[in-house]
Amino acid sequence: MLLTDTGVPEHYIKIDQWGGQTMTRLDDGWCAALNRNTLMCMIYEKRPLVCREYEMGAPECISERTTRL
């Protein structure tokens, strides 16, 4: 859920059933802003707060990536 305005481009934002803003996900659950070849964020400088709280390469980050692969 997007809680702060970090400048995420509109085409990566989806409005959920309760009116909240979330990141758009692809059919398989991956974030639409994630480059699947490099596993790097295509909007890194404007990524949402929730993404900023994950340290790249931290156990939580690796765990999330492994469960999605």
CA dihedral sign of residues 3, 25, 11, 8: positive
pLDDT per position as a tens digit, 8-44: 999 999 999 999 999 999 998 889 999 988 888 999 9
Determine the 3-state secondary structure of 25 from DSSP: strand
**pTM value surpassing 0.85:** no
Q: How many CA atoms lie within 13 A of 52 on its CB side?
A: 13
Residue 69 has pLDDT above 60, yes or no: no
Query: Alpha-carbon distance 54 to 52, whole Å?
Result: 5
pLDDT band at 59; cut points 50, 70, 90: confident
* Residue whose pair of structure tokens reads 């980050």 in the numeric block: 61
pLDDT, residue 53, reads: 82
pLDDT, residue 60, reads: 76
